[in-house]
Chain A
Amino acid sequence: MAAHSVPSWHFAQRLELLRSANLALAQSLDLDIVLETLLEYLQQLIAFDYAGLLLAETNGVVVVRAAKGRLLTALPGLQPGSSIDPATLPFLDILRRTLRSRLGHSLGMTPQDGYAEKSLESWIGIPLLVAGEWIGFCLVGKEEREFYTDDDVRMLESLLFQVGVTIANARMYDELRQRVRELEAVQEVSQALRHAANIEMLAPILVGEISRLLDGRQTTLALLEADERTLVVSAAHPTHQEAVGKRRVVDAPVLNRLQQGVHWEHTNGLTDTMTRVLWTPLVFENRVLGLIELELENHKPLKTVETRLLQTLTEMGAVALTRLQLRETLEQEVEKRTHELRRRQMVAEGLRYILTILNSNRPLQEVLEYIACQACWLLDTTTGVFYRWWEDEDALELQAACGLPMASGHGLRVPCAEIVESQVLRQRQPLVLYGPGEAQTKSALNSLPLSFPMRCQALLAVPLVVEQQTHGVLALYFPEPCVLGDEDVVLVEMFADQAALAIANAELRLRAEQTAVAAERNRLARELHDAVTQTLFSAGMIADVLPDIWQRDPVEGRRLLDELRNLTRGALAELRALLFELRPRGLTEVSLPILLEQLAQAMSNRARIPIRVVVEGTCSLPPEVQVGLYRIAQEALNNIVKHAGATQAIVRLRCEWQENGQRLEMTIEDDGCGFDTTAISPHSLGLTIMRERAETIKAVLSIHSQPRTPEHRGGTRVHVSWSG
């Protein structure tokens, strides 16, 4: 039978065509170009409705690498890219086993391509050989029956026997090129991964590169949570925002497979509805970090080189992830330490300042407010309140607060919540509540003032214990949900201790003030007793008996009347002197000479001796100096009245203005019994009081005394000098 392909061709023409085909095929090392060229020459050489070049892959399957022809679309099983297991197709199996060309009929009725619309009624299959090994097949077919002849087989063999080597070379070159591309890709990815500063940056790079290198397949990265059961999607490519953050709890078998580090086909994708995916574990030193999911649906199966690439990229990803995780852990640790140190420093500074405030005699409420604010600041909240507990009334009184609006009920009393009373006030334990849903929290929050504007999510309350008594509560309110630890409790307890100290201080101060007031009252009472009461008693006595005495002895009567007048005047003077002292600024409103005059009159009345006041010059004295000088004169005159037994006394005051200010000298002198200044106790006779007064106003005080003897007239002289 004559060959049907191009019947009119001469043998010489065919030889020429074959030669030029061999030349053309030798021009390129690119497999795709080689195969394309081959199909073109086939077309010139022989008529066909389908021509395909099927190459064996390393895994044994045969893949249609190039195809052409009228019936191409009608033969789905023989499309470019289709893979075929030779064992399932009888004609391929025979070709593979015999390694001989074959002329056949009716291809297309096999189970694999049973759905084909058309069939190749006449076909030629030629194995492609290299050194006696097959690397694939060439298939040529026609729709008409018995179209091809043995001549056609021989003609094709003459072309294709030479081509095997060319294809093998091209494939090797292709592989080499692929390897180079792969290496370049890996290097690029490695570079990119190395520059990722954190996992958030790394994840998209990793999935992006894998997707790019593997045919644009949907690629997803999922990381295993610390619970080692939950996978969380951290990136997907092509970008798929809804997927990010998706969670999947996996069971033990899956975890075991991940642990083994070998990829496998999975039927349930992390994203969307994909049912065919490839899961490749991200494992570093036996620690499962997560996995890379690769889409398998709608794509060719992975080539060996792709699988290898995926494996390499996954391993690199695992290393990079581990590096970043370690770094983040380290950074977190450093930050935690830094935060802790900063907090400790803040606490120390806070305490130091509180101590200065405690020592500054500020009002208690101000101190407590300050402490509350410090506590709020350090615990990062807005509101802290000191409550005082009124046990009998079962109530808490707002004593001081930080973070409450002005005047939002200082002194306000609120009922005390059960749990606060039992735990904080009775058992003196700290109370920590969070979660607004808890009934306990709600009940504890009822202890807030009604005008409280804030919705509170957590509460920390500690007892305030002052001198072994439960004084009240320090409560911190948190507007945001938060978790409060032991450290926070200890911190607040420390502030409560400071506050307790402040309260104890304030109470002591109050007691001291009360004592001082009581002492001052006693002093005034004594003054009244020493002065006015005695004088008025005496005056009363004289007034009672004056009528009788007048009748009996008018001269004596007149003398007593004078006496009576002196007494009442003296009483008046004493009262005035006392009034000067009672009024807040009584001792500074009038000048020193007037004060001394008043004092002298009062003392003269008490001692029943004349006391003169002599003033030279005028001075303008600072208030505290005037008061100091007055007190010294008062003490000196008191001594004269009580102890001196003098017949007279004199107070001299001399003021002069000098170049560098004024100079004042005051002397109080009597002619009484005197005393031995060396023998007398320095603490008696108010000498100490006089010295202290003088020191306070920076005056110089000296005392000279001459004890009275039969030979000498005694007397005492107190001298004060002051300049300013």
Chain B
Amino acid sequence: MAEPTIRVLIVDDHAVVRSGLRAFLSAFDDLVLVGEARNGAEAVALCQTHKPDVVLMDLVMPGIDGATATRQILERWPHIRVIALTSFYDEALVKSAFQAGAISYLLKNVSAQELAAAIRAAYVGRPTLAPEATQVLISATAQRQAPLFDLTEREREVLALMVQGYSNPEIARRLVVSRSTVKFHVSNILSKLNAGSRTEAVSIALQHHLVS
């Protein structure tokens, strides 16, 4: 059965990218280039003219940026699928794209086959997410739930004793290590917990259930 033809709009402020994407689209029979925009404003205007099925949207552009353009497009033409295509994957950027309504988030290290597959998937309403972007979203969520503070096993032991109110010499005796070793651990714990004092460290430990 003949595949449907997908009408694609390219939005990127870099001429070199537009020219690469033009060459890419010409290689696939089911993908048709309907227009090229250099910024957000042009993108909205070209959507009005060409009514594309899928928009490949760069996010960081001078003037109206990619996320804003995406929101404006989807407000007027909700059926258009917007794929964010960018070289960045920081948390704020990824979130802004999804909040604006982008269906997919791809990085500019994607291969032609992958990009083509993502365009086709978007056309039928299936999202595609670059692994890096996925990682960013997961770790951002995880951090908010339980900060791990990256304490070592030994530091956790020392912290547990600090919570029980032991002094450095007592901790040294119990763990059978020197007093200076304990001090070293304590100063590491303070810096990892970003605590200004022992008391604050203990309070952070209790608040985040860092010790059993």
Contacts and interface: CB of A to CB of B under 8 A. Distances in A.
A542 B14 contact: no
A142 interface: no
Contacts of A539: 20
Interface in A504-538: 529-530, 533-535, 537-538
A608 interface: yes
A540 interface: yes
B112 A545 contact: yes
Contacts of A542: 20, 23-24
A695 B38 CA distance: 34
A544 B17 contact: no
Contact of B14 (A534, A540, A548): A534
B13 A642 contact: yes
A393 B187 contact: yes
B55 interface: no
A392 B186 contact: yes
Interface in A641-698: 641-643, 645
Nearest to A528: B87
A164 interface: no
A392 B183 contact: yes
Given A392-B186, A530-B14, A544 B19 contact: no
A229 to B, nearest CB: 55
A128 interface: no
B27 interface: yes
Contacts of A563: 19, 23
Nearest to B23: A542
Interface in A408-455: none
Interface in B4-56: 12-17, 19-21, 23-24, 26-28, 38
Interface in B50-70: 60, 62
A394 interface: yes
Contact of B15 (A393, A541, A606): A606
Contacts of B180: 393
A561 B116 CA distance: 21
Nearest to A556: B26
A298 to B, nearest CB: 78
A607 B23 contact: no
Specify the main secondary structure of chain A where it touches its partner: helix
Contacts of B12: 534
B190 interface: yes
Q: Point out which of A541, A549, A607 has the most chain B C-beta atoms below 10 A from its C-beta.
A: A541
B113 interface: yes
B111 interface: yes
Contact of B87 (A394, A537, A560): A537
A76 B99 CA distance: 138
Contacts of B16: 534-535, 538, 567, 570, 605-606, 608
Contacts of A393: 180, 183-184, 187
B109 interface: yes
B186 to A, nearest CB: 6
B108 interface: yes
Contact of B111 (A394, A540, A548, A605): A540
B194 to A, nearest CB: 14
Nearest to A608: B15
Interface in A389-403: 392-394
Given A393-B180, A533-B108, A642-B62, A541 B20 contact: yes
Nearest to A605: B16
Nearest to A559: B23
Nearest to A526: B60
A560 B108 CA distance: 19
A392 B14 contact: no
Given A393-B180, A549-B27, A541 B14 contact: no
B190 A392 contact: yes
Contacts of A560: 23
Interface string A542-575: 1011001100000010001001000100100000
Contacts of B38: 645
Nearest to A574: B16
A641 B15 CA distance: 9
Given A392-B187, A606-B15, A545 B87 contact: no
B87 A541 contact: no
A533 B24 contact: no
B108 A534 contact: yes
Contacts of B17: 534, 537-538
Interface in B110-169: 111-113, 115
A538 B12 CA distance: 12
A556 B115 CA distance: 21
Nearest to A570: B16
B19 A545 contact: no
A34 to B, nearest CB: 104
Nearest to A571: B16
A394 B109 contact: no
A642 B13 CA distance: 7
B111 A544 contact: yes
Contacts of B20: 537-542, 567
Contacts of A544: 24, 27, 111-113
Contacts of B112: 540-541, 544-545
Contacts of A606: 14-16
B19 A529 contact: no
A546 to B, nearest CB: 8
A607 B26 contact: no
A535 B20 CA distance: 8
B115 to A, nearest CB: 8
A560 B23 CA distance: 8
Contact of A545 (B24, B60, B186): B24
Interface string A599-628: 000000111110000000000000000000
Q: Would you list the 10 A-B pairs with minimal beta carbon distance, nearest first?
A: A538-B20, A544-B112, A545-B27, A392-B187, A537-B108, A608-B15, A541-B20, A541-B24, A534-B14, A542-B23
Interface of A: 392-394, 529-530, 533-535, 537-542, 544-545, 548-549, 556, 560, 563, 567, 570, 605-609, 641-643, 645
24 contacts: A392-B183, A392-B190, A393-B183, A393-B184, A530-B14, A537-B20, A537-B109, A540-B109, A540-B111, A541-B20, A541-B23, A541-B24, A542-B24, A544-B24, A544-B111, A544-B112, A545-B26, A545-B27, A549-B23, A606-B16, A607-B15, A609-B15, A642-B13, A642-B62
Interface of B: 12-17, 19-21, 23-24, 26-28, 38, 60, 62, 87-88, 108-109, 111-113, 115, 180, 183-184, 186-187, 190
Given A541-B21, A544-B112, A567-B20, 20 more contacts: A392-B183, A392-B187, A529-B60, A529-B87, A529-B88, A534-B87, A537-B108, A537-B109, A538-B16, A539-B20, A540-B112, A544-B24, A544-B27, A544-B111, A548-B27, A605-B16, A606-B15, A609-B15, A641-B15, A645-B38
